[in-house]
């Protein structure tokens, strides 16, 4: 799931919020909401194909956890970043 919301930053670069699903080193399902500049999305997608990616190299983690994001987390993302 990708939330495409253009957020104006002080230097006018465009930002998107991406929901990235994966697995921990123990095999547990994880999720991460990542704020990323649009010009970095392609690099992130290529990196994700390699299976091991340090998401902080590509953007700012705004929420993360195990399993699926609960309603409170989804509401936080919608309120803080998508409105």
CA 75/CA 31 separation, integer angstroms: 15
Residue 21: the pLDDT is 94
Find the distance separating the first CA and the last CA of the chain, reported in whole Å.
17
> From residue 46, how far is each of 16, 22, 75 by CA, in Å?
17, 15, 29
Residue 82: the pLDDT is 77
Q: How many CB atoms lie within 10 A of CB 45?
A: 12
Residue 4: the pLDDT is 47
CA 21/CA 30 separation, integer angstroms: 6
Q: Per-residue confidence of the chain (83 residues) as pLDDT tens digits?
A: 444 444 444 445 788 999 999 998 899 999 999 999 988 999 999 998 887 789 999 999 999 999 999 999 999 999 998 77
């Amino acid at each position: 799931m990708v939330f495409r919301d253009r957020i104006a930053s002080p230097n006018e670069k465009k930002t998107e919020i991406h929901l990235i699903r994966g697995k921990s080193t123990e095999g547990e399902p994880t999720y991460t909401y990542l704020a990323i500049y649009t010009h970095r999305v392609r690099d992130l997608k290529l990196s994700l194909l390699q299976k091991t990616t340090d998401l902080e190299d590509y953007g700012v983690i705004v929420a993360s956890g195990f399993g699926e994001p609960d309603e409170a987390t989804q509401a936080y993302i919608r309120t803080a970043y998508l409105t």
